Structure 1
Amino acid sequence: MQRVMILGEPGSGKSTLATALGAKQKLPVVHLDRIFWQPGWQEPDPATFKAQHDRCASEERWIIDGIYWKTIDFRAQRADTIIWLDLPLWLRLYRVLRRTLITLGKSRPDLAPGCPEKFDFGFYHYILIGHQKRNQRISSLLEKFEGTKQVIVLRSRREVQQFLEGLQERPVGGGDLEKSGP
């Protein structure tokens, strides 16, 4: 487990898992939302974002969380482990609403500076509409890599917790203690 890609819908816990897994496995963490969004919630130049993404994904060791479909193929090819957080819609909506209320007006550590949390009806609409289609896309992506990469699907908070608890901590030197999957 050297290059880990974490996928999931908003509120699934991608950044939280990435941070916990990074600490446990001594891997650097890249939150795609942090490198994508510019201050004031401005979108970057696509070529600039792709170059930054590809530079991160070209490293030998990483955890990258986020989807961003235009860059997902390169990241998936490079990953040795793909984790999909396929949590229920009601839980994800609850988490996003709670996160919004708690951090309203503040910048989160998984986002770029200058991107304060805001209540955005469009974002909730995005979560509600089309989640089944996006999940089908993720499922199709994972099918392509089954058998060639370690593919892990976690469908509940309990499964996420059990996954983390089941990993051996990697020593500070970064030796590869866990050898599971291809």
Structure 2
Amino acid sequence: MERVLVIGPCGAGKSTASRRIAAVLALPLHHLDRLHWKAGWVEGSKEELHELLAPILAEDRWIIDGNYGSTMQQRIVRSDAVIYLDYPVSLCLWRAAKRVWRFRGRTRPDMTEGCPERFDFAFFLYIANWNRHARPRTEALLAGSEGKVHRFTSPRAMEDWLVKLERKHACN
């Protein structure tokens, strides 16, 4: 695995998983949230995100976490592995709430500096509706790439896989 994409609902733990995978495989890690958002929670344009992402995708080695549907297809095509944290929405909502509490008023490590964590009802509504809107779009984008998709439906399954990955690369 040289070019890894980590996707899934908000609150699933994409950034945490990405950090572990990046450490094991010695891959440069890129968080799409950090590329997309500007200080003060100012949203960048799709065009800006595409421009910032292009040189990263051109590299031979990387791990990128985040969904951002407008860039998903080009990332899937370029990746050799897609880690899909396909967790229950209830778990993602709980984890997102814990993240808000943990980082309240501070910028989390995978976000642009100047974007302090805060409760955002629309964000939680987006997570709550993941299965109706974002999931079908994500599934459609993954169609035809099943051979490179590692789908995890529980944190336990992901943890078991990560432990195996760490053991495998500790021996190398």
Using the size of structure 1 for normalisation, the TM-score is 0.88
Pair 169,95 (structure 1): closer, same or farther in 2 beyond 3 Å: same
Q: Which residue, out of 157, 160, 165, partners 2:158?
A: 160
SS in 1 for 2:71: helix
Verify the 8 A CA contact 2:46 2:70 in the aligned structure 1: no
Give the CA deviation at 1:2: 0.3
Verify the 8 A CA contact 1:9 1:131 in the aligned structure 2: no
2:69 is the counterpart of 1:69: yes
SS in 2 for 1:114: coil
The residue that corresponds to 1:2 in the other structure is 2
Give the CA deviation at 1:132: 3.1
Verify the 8 A CA contact 2:9 2:130 in the aligned structure 1: no
Unmatched 5+ residue regions in structure 1?
172-176, 178-182
* 1:24-173 matched pairs, under 5 angstroms: 24-147=24-147, 150-167=148-165, 168-169=168-169
Using the size of structure 2 for normalisation, the TM-score is 0.93
1:18-68 Cα shifts (integer Å, max 9, x gaps): 000000111111010011100000011332221101111111100100011
Letter in 2 for 1:90: S
* Aligned counterparts of 1:105 and 1:133: Cα–Cα separation in 2: 29
RMSD over aligned CA atoms reads: 1.5
Higher helix share: 2
Give the CA deviation at 1:144: 1.5
The residue that corresponds to 2:16 in the other structure is 16
Greater mean alpha carbon deviation, residues 44-53 or residues 1-10: 44-53
Give the CA deviation at 1:130: 4.2
Give the CA deviation at 1:170: 6.4
* Aligned counterparts of 1:49 and 1:142: Cα–Cα separation in 2: 20
* Aligned counterparts of 2:81 and 2:37: Cα–Cα separation in 1: 25
Give the CA deviation at 1:102: 1.2
Identity of aligned residues (%): 38
Verify the 8 A CA contact 1:26 1:170 in the aligned structure 2: no
